[in-house]
Chain A
Amino acid sequence: MWLRFILGIALVLTLDGQASAYRAYVSNERSNTVSLIDTDAWKVVKTIKVGQRPRGIAYTKDQKYVLVACGDDDTIQMIDTGTNAVADTLPSGPDPEFFTASPDGKFLYVANENDNTVTIIDIARREQVGAVQVGVEPEGMAMSPDGKILINTSETTNMAHFIDPAKREVLASVLVDQRPRFAAFTPDGSELWVSSEVGGTVSVIDPVKRVVKDKIEFAIAGMRSDPIQPVGINITSDGKLAFIALGPANHVAVVDVKSHKVIKYLLVGQRVWHMAFTPDGKYLLAANGVSNDVSVIDVAALKVVNTVQVGELPWGIAMSDH
């Protein structure tokens, strides 16, 4: 009886493990580490020492490395996902904060906050191959689903710059609200969403006309507008729901992508920054900068179901594809 019970648990764990055990790498801006979370156990299974002030973090397309921008070391470190140790570096230019890759995974586009520059890196050759001058304090980076348009947001210039990644030049710039931090295309590429941290809004841009066609505003009952500071934006792969991290408002807004209406606010940890979906789309992980933890949101139920303690000032999350 007992044995059957235990076996039963083991079987459930194994099945469950096969279904949903992904690895999430969380950059901890202050501890200079990356926490590796097992999404089956919902706990940190390894803490990897990296360079100073790690923020932007993402997998390479081949999943062999996790790239992490170490701003104060002026480099991007490559964590080998087999050994989970730093194996190499990329020449990112000064103070890299955030980056995105070309759809084929060959090139990395890096926002250099201190240099008004987007640096282009050939990942395989570990070499800088070009640079594009943008506005003051470049930050958010996004690639259109067809790979034809690269977006950079500049925090003090308050613009989303449309960049031709092939010609490496700015094609157009769209004014948004103060301190734009993050850009994301809807999966069909029909809309570009840009969050403005200080402005407190998300601008919805028509990427063809390159104009702001709508602005999403937020209101949380009993809270003044000041702490509502949108940062990370994650849109479900079916393009139906957008999750927007609201920073020191300690909430994630859930927005209906079609109508641009907020349908729910989820209470998470303090100063929520960036987020990532598990590849099956079931969960969304949100890094809470001040409370040093990661909130786990059940996407179907729209509920926070778990919290994982990580290092100090968690900033970004990279999630494995499988």
Chain B
Amino acid sequence: MLRGFCIAAFLLMAISAAPAANGLNVKIGYLGRADKTETISLIEMPAANDGVAGAELAIDDNNTTGKFLNQSFSLQELLLKDQDDPAAAVQKLADNGISLIVTDLPAAMLLKAADAGRQRGLFFFNAGATDDRLRQEDCRANVIHTAPSRAMLADGLAQYLVWKHWTRWLLVVGSHAPDKLFANALRRSAQRFGAQIVQEREFKDTGGARRTDSGLVQIQSQIPLFTQSAPDYDVLVAADESQVFADYMPYRTSQPRPVAGSAGLEPTTWDPAFDQWGAIQLQSRFEKKFSRWMTALDMQAWMAVRMVGEAVSHVNSDDPKAILRYTEGPDFALAAFKGRKLTVRDWDLQLRQPILLADGRTVVSVSPQQGFLHQYSELDTLGIDRPETKCKLK
């Protein structure tokens, strides 16, 4: 048995070394955030390699495939601080012969990067930013989105709540800009699928640390006060991307009500507890390599690098134009453990994908829900559909 493993290991090395010499070597860049946000829950603190780990695993997967096609893949990572210039980082990657870049950057930085890369013919995969404007008025012809939009996340959640007949929502919104954007998406979803927002409340961020030694005592009395005397509602929906209050809501509301949105039942593209449709295989591969669980950001980066791998295995070229043509075209499909193929919306370059609803322990459901029909693809009941698009790809 030991001998078998040694031989196997040797073969693997020999083969993966070969293509670099005379085959196609595809270099992929990764632009990530150096500043990681603080979370309310200690167990949700992002790892230093959150996101890029998913990209690295996909590089391994691409290389396993590539050894049969004389193709190899490598990743070069750059982390940017909020004040760094994304254009300079893009030039640096381009100078290293990179023309495909996976990003986990805020919307404004992504746009700077994409516009700087356009002159040099670079192509981007947005794995991190959920902003709807990147799929709408600020869409770019050289940016594919593997990250879901806020509209997709909100629609995925809303479909399930409506299916449960939890149609009366108490919407609690944080005071930061991203919280308000998520609230916009939730309002749109409520209207689309027939839920009613019985009241909205703002939870102001008054500052203060998330890690304290006696915070629990205060929170236990603050949250019931904050949520009392609301009109009758079925579910509290929290919009708190800034991690200020949502995780304090479950079990502490004045009325005994479930919580959804940024805490409780959360819409996401991946969850460490997800094991359907072969997902267990990706989860075990990831955990074996990185000794931690795989996050949604890891998954979105994995999908981006796998999209490149999938396209390269068919077009046998790392020319961004050829890769874009293939991924947008009718032959492209990505298998990503969601029980159906993922394809790209040609009107805004958003990857169509199901949305998981996870409660932190298990995956409760996967949207689109049964009964939400669409003339082309049920996945297009999630997010901005073709007739509503404001995107003009240029």
Contacts and interface: CB of A to CB of B under 8 A. Distances in A.
A250 to B, nearest CB: 14
Interface stretch (B232-240, B254-262, B334-342, B385-393): B334-342
B341 A135 contact: no
B68 A178 contact: no
B292 interface: no
Nearest to A226: B340
B209 interface: no
Interface residues of A, number: 36
Nearest to B313: A175
B335 A198 contact: yes
A224 B4 contact: no
B39 interface: no
B8 interface: yes
B341 A116 contact: no
Contact of B278 (A91, A137, A157, A170): A137
A212 B68 CA distance: 16
A207 interface: no
Contacts of A227: 340
Interface in B330-382: 333-335, 339-341, 377-378
Interface in B2-35: 4-5, 7-8, 11-12, 15
Given A158-B313, A159-B65, A161-B68, A226 B378 contact: yes
Interface in A129-153: 129-131, 133, 135-137
A136 B4 contact: no
Given A95-B281, A130-B7, A156-B61, 7 more contacts: A128-B4, A133-B11, A136-B61, A155-B335, A156-B65, A158-B313, A226-B378
Contact of B5 (A113, A131, A248): A131
B377 A133 contact: no
Of residues B1, B8, B11, B340, which shows the largest number of chain A Cβ atoms within 10 Å of its Cβ?
Answer: B340
A224 B5 contact: no
Interface string A149-179: 0000011111101000000001001010111
Interface in B272-296: 278, 281, 284-285
By DSSP majority rule, is chain A's interface helix, strand, loop, or mixed? loop
A190 interface: no
A121 to B, nearest CB: 11
A270 B367 CA distance: 19
A155 B68 contact: no
Interface residues of B, number: 29
Interface in A9-64: none
A128 B4 CA distance: 8
B175 interface: no
B69 interface: yes
A131 B4 contact: yes
Nearest to B65: A157
8 contacts: A133-B15, A137-B278, A173-B68, A173-B69, A199-B341, A226-B377, A227-B340, A248-B339
Interface string A205-243: 000000000000000000010110100000000000000
Contacts of A117: 8
A200 B68 contact: no
A306 interface: no
B4 A133 contact: no
A54 to B, nearest CB: 15
A137 B246 CA distance: 38
Contacts of A136: 61, 64-65
